Chain A
Amino acid sequence: MVNPTMSANLSQVIVKRRGSVILGPIELTLARQGITIVLGPNGAGKTTLLKVLHGVERISSGSVDWSVPDELARQSQAFIFQKPTMLRRSVRENLAYPLQLLDYKKAEIAERVALWAHRIDLGDMLDRSAPRLSGGEQQKLALARALIRDPDVLFLDEPCANLDARSTREIEKLLVDAQSSGTRIIMTTHNIGQARRLANDVLFLLNGKLHEQGAAMTFFKEPKTPEAKSFLEGDIVE
């Protein structure tokens, strides 16, 4: 199902809410592979940009074009929200849900659920109720539920906020594995260390604009703009 030619093109995208521009104008072509990390201070528009790319945020002008038809693009993407939604069901049923929506065969569902439960180390908690899991377990479950459809593109909005070091490490490992099996990853984070570990390329947002972008190596070593430089040094950027 992984489609290596899936790429996105944003042209003059502007998102307005209550009369003011919260994102844009954005001009952007997303590379076809790897992990893109979206950085920027609070309110810079990171979440909005991710939702625009995923097609769940209304844009006021401009266009977002995936290299495949919209319907197919949405179907082959997954999005993990900052506060992951746990269906009020068991772990097993949470994992099965995205497959049931696509009418997968029962046997195939059971097989994939078992595989992913094992990968996220929740194999013996399949019948526990998902909303009662710990924060780290919930985040892993959300990740597995997103990956169980083998998405071409995976969006994550601060997946490791409020998680301890161990859960963060487990999540990062799952992300690297997904990436190497062909899933395109676009995620935001406030953790610069995590950004350095994972990023192939970086989008740095400031006040709703794409302030700087580039390969991770260059960005972290020699940021071009003074704002990116002070952001990386931990200063407050206005």
Chain B
Amino acid sequence: MNEIWAGLQAALFLVFTLDKDLVEITLRSLQVSLSALVIASAIALPFGTWLAIRRFRYRRATIAALNALMGLPPVVVGLIVYLLLSRSGPFGVLGLLFSPTAMIIAQVIIIAPLIASITHQAMRELWAEYHDLLISLNTTKRQRIFTLIRDGKRALLTAALAGFGRAIGEVGAIMIVGGNIDHATRVLTTAIALETGKGDFALALGLGFVLIALAMLVNFAIHALSRTEREGTW
């Protein structure tokens, strides 16, 4: 128990003095997860919207596949990306393994299906509401997608935040493809795993505080967004 108390105190000290390692690791975490978020959103938001308004032959199958992808265990994603990027893999020549880029790739694969799925659901509702009007106004496909994205932006933001929340807290995949290398690929979650293993609770807890704060911030934002959505104020 004493050890944990001491750890807590040391952790708070690290946080409030803006410890160099702590700041570096936090920034790298943000850099990796935000990059993954931007890329995944650029793919998943339009794709989810398109899926909501477009009828095509394999639509149901695509949605089922999306849901299956959403349930992929991150560790397995890590393994697959590792195999693809490893020296003997098809993309081995790029030399990306154990780099932040590899971690971003893994996170994009993990969160894009989640973002697309949430987007699809929200956009389907909005499309049902707008369908008759947009058809009657003779809108082009572009105009329809643009209108839905504009008026569904709260839902899209919620989807993106959910994706970010998942990315920032993820450990399995980035541990495998990033390798948790000090000053190179170490991020909040992998550092916590390592420091806990070493018994350095101060740094582990300090990093934990930062992670919790980030997660709470994201959840708070999602909550606030969905409330304004329901009350219809914008």
Contact = CB atoms under 8 A, between A and B. Distances in A.
B135 interface: yes
Given A88-B151, A89-B151, A78 B233 contact: no
A220 interface: no
Interface in A45-84: 54, 56, 74-75, 78-79, 81
Interface residues of A, number: 17
B133 interface: yes
A101 B151 contact: no
B234 interface: yes
Interface string B126-147: 1001101101111100010001
A81 B132 CA distance: 8
B130 A87 contact: yes
Contacts of B135: 56
A131 B151 contact: no
Contacts of A56: 132, 135-136
A81 B147 CA distance: 19
Contacts of B136: 54, 56, 78-79, 81
Contacts of A131: 232
Given A129-B233, A129-B234, A132-B232, A85 B133 contact: yes
B124 to A, nearest CB: 15
A74 B151 contact: no
Nearest to A130: B232
A98 B132 contact: no
A157 B217 CA distance: 47
Interface string A23-55: 000000000000000000000000000000010
B143 A101 contact: yes
Interface in B101-151: 126, 129-130, 132-133, 135-139, 143, 147, 151
A74 B136 CA distance: 8
Contacts of A87: 130, 133, 147, 151
Contacts of A54: 136
A101 B233 contact: no
Given A75-B138, A87-B151, A101-B143, A81 B234 contact: no
A155 to B, nearest CB: 9
Contacts of B138: 74-75
Nearest to B139: A101
- Residue from the set B126, B132, B138 with the largest chain A CB neighbour count within 10 Å: B138
A129 B232 contact: yes
Interface string A117-160: 00000000000010110000000000000000000000000000
A178 B201 CA distance: 76
Contact of B137 (A89, A101, A129, A132): A101
B156 to A, nearest CB: 13
A56 B133 CA distance: 10
Nearest to A85: B133
A35 to B, nearest CB: 20
A139 to B, nearest CB: 14
A162 B90 CA distance: 65
A88 B233 CA distance: 9
A181 B5 CA distance: 82
Nearest to B129: A85
Nearest to A79: B136
A177 to B, nearest CB: 22
B199 to A, nearest CB: 54
A81 B129 CA distance: 12
A80 to B, nearest CB: 9
A81 B151 contact: no
A140 to B, nearest CB: 16
Interface of A: 54, 56, 74-75, 78-79, 81, 85, 87-89, 97-98, 101, 129, 131-132
CB-CB nearest 6 A-B residue pairs: A85-B133, A79-B136, A88-B151, A74-B138, A81-B132, A56-B135
Given A56-B132, A56-B135, A85-B129, 6 more contacts: A54-B136, A75-B138, A81-B133, A87-B147, A89-B151, A101-B137
13 contacts: A54-B136, A74-B138, A81-B132, A81-B133, A85-B130, A87-B133, A87-B151, A88-B126, A89-B151, A97-B137, A129-B233, A131-B232, A132-B232
